[in-house]
A and B are shown apart, each in its own frame.
Chain A
Amino acid sequence: MRPDDFAYFTKFIYDQSGIVLGTDKMYLIESRLAPVARKFNLSSIDALVGQLRGAKDPNLHRDVVDAMTTNESFFFRDGKPFDQFKAVVLPQLLANRAAKKSFRIWCAAASTGQEPYTIAMILKESAHLLAGWRHEIVGTDLSTEALDRAKNGVYTQFEVQRGLPIQLLVKYFKQQGDKWQIAPEIRAMVQYKNYNLLHDFGALGGFDVVFCRNVLIYFDQKTKGSILDRIAKLMPADGLLYLGGAETVLGVTEKFQPMPNQRGIYQLTAAKPA
């Protein structure tokens, strides 16, 4: 990519998504854009960027942003956070919300749906504890293409084999040729919405638990801080935030602090009136 094309492209992605792309991401950019170029009958990445600069084709814009922002996801990604959800987070919700018997969970980078469906399966497996409770899982993502895949809930044989215990595959998925579709009762537990974390997301309402894993790493410090401060505003005093293994609140926001002995989970710093 020519230097001025690269500068244009990285600014375009930053403006659209807040994602910062350095020259070290050249390989990523080229591997992600090649299929988009083919789809739009453009002979090369250079031709694609030329087209991006020239014509304001909203379909091309959307596909390029989707390609650069959609990330591979796994069921039960990293394992431990979901063990903690069962052992720590869910018991806390059951105790603290016993009076109103309801809670809401937000997956802020839902991608193709593996994370919200993982939470939905855990809640389903815990149904005996949740009789009479209402719970909502909201999954948002910038990429409409990822969200379409999430809504369909159809996964390849490779995707269902990374992280998902076989017992849950058998219980909650239906075979469709060489693909696997997650059961309607699990799909019905998750609502998907197209949201950009750069923009106001207050309309989503309040959340008791927010999963914001492996997405902040793409943003600069200031954007990270703004996103976390706005997430804090959506939470009750005992709200919990999940970040990815390589992410932290230190030096990013004062609103959250690590939950003692629970790596990856953060709680609000100052108790605020509920």
Chain B
Amino acid sequence: MKTFLVVDDSRVIRNVARRILEALNFKVDEAADGQQALDACLRGLPDAILLDWNMPVMDGIQFLRALRALPGGDAPIVLFCTTETELTKIQTAIEAGANEYIMKPFDSEIVESKLSQVGLL
């Protein structure tokens, strides 16, 4: 079973994402900010990460750059999932190493479509 780390400071969003991902047969872990996510990645890298942008302590972009600098940190597939929809933000995320980008609001159809594009389904 592939592992998914859901990183979002909103518990509601984490729950929505968990439900969608568990229905698609992923094992889901949660983190409420970038630092918690980084700590989780240091304990063990997940197969994929759903990543919010704006969070307290450490934001999504800082986390992504730190992740990609870790040994083996290239491996997890990272999908941003954020209300940031400006083209320049999307470009920044891709340059930092994001594999895909979901603009909120999202639904299960969008998540599924993005997961199959990056080869997770």
Number of A-B residue pairs at CB separation under 8 A: 38
Range for the number of chain B residues in contact with chain A: 10 to 19
Whether B85 contacts A178 by the Cβ 8 Å rule is yes
A166 beta carbon closer than 8 Å to chain B: yes
Q: A157-B103, A170-B90, A170-B91 are in contact. Are A162 and B110 (CB under 8 A)?
A: yes
Nearest B residue to A162 via CB reads B113
Nearest B residue to A76 via CB reads B117
Chain B: minimal CB distance from A163 (Å): 6
B114 beta carbon closer than 8 Å to chain A: yes
In B69-107, which residues have CB < 8 Å from any A CB? 85-87, 90-91, 94, 98, 100-103, 106-107
| B90 in complex: contacting residue of A76, A163, A166, CB < 8 Å | A166
Q: How far is the CA of A42 from the CA of B16 in the complex (A)?
A: 40
| Interface-central residue, A76, A158, A166, A170, by most chain B CB under 10 Å | A166
A36 beta carbon closer than 8 Å to chain B: no
Q: How far is the CA of A178 from the CA of B86 in the complex (A)?
A: 9
Chain B residues with CB under 8 Å of A74's CB are 113
Nearest B residue to A78 via CB reads B116
Nearest B residue to A166 via CB reads B101
Contact with B along A156-173 (1 / 0, CB 8 A): 011001110111011000
Chain B residues with CB under 8 Å of A166's CB are 90, 94, 98, 100-101
Chain B: minimal CB distance from A192 (Å): 25
Chain B residues with CB under 8 Å of A165's CB are 100, 117
Nearest A residue to B110 via CB reads A161
Number of contacting residues on A, CB 8 A? 16
Q: How far is the CA of A169 from the CA of B110 in the complex (A)?
A: 14
Chain B: minimal CB distance from A158 (Å): 7
Chain A residues with CB under 8 Å of B86's CB are 175
Nearest A residue to B93 via CB reads A166
Chain A: minimal CB distance from B76 (Å): 17
Nearest B residue to A174 via CB reads B87
Chain B: minimal CB distance from A171 (Å): 10
Whether B91 contacts A161 by the Cβ 8 Å rule is no
Chain B: minimal CB distance from A255 (Å): 33
Whether B100 contacts A163 by the Cβ 8 Å rule is no
Chain A residues with CB under 8 Å of B101's CB are 166, 169
Chain B: minimal CB distance from A56 (Å): 40
A79 beta carbon closer than 8 Å to chain B: yes
Chain A residues with CB under 8 Å of B116's CB are 79
Q: How far is the CA of A166 from the CA of B110 in the complex (A)?
A: 12
Chain A residues with CB under 8 Å of B98's CB are 166
Q: How far is the CA of A152 from the CA of B109 in the complex (A)?
A: 25
In A72-117, which residues have CB < 8 Å from any B CB? 74, 76, 79
Whether B113 contacts A163 by the Cβ 8 Å rule is yes
Whether B87 contacts A170 by the Cβ 8 Å rule is yes
Pick the 9 closest A-B CB pairs, nearest first.
Answer: A166-B101, A162-B113, A161-B110, A175-B87, A166-B100, A157-B103, A165-B117, A163-B113, A170-B90
**A–B pairs, 16, beta carbons within 8 Å:** A79-B116, A157-B85, A157-B103, A158-B107, A158-B110, A161-B102, A161-B103, A161-B110, A163-B117, A166-B94, A166-B98, A169-B101, A170-B91, A170-B94, A174-B87, A178-B85
Chain A interface (Cβ < 8 Å from any Cβ of B): 74, 76, 79, 157-158, 161-163, 165-167, 169-170, 174-175, 178
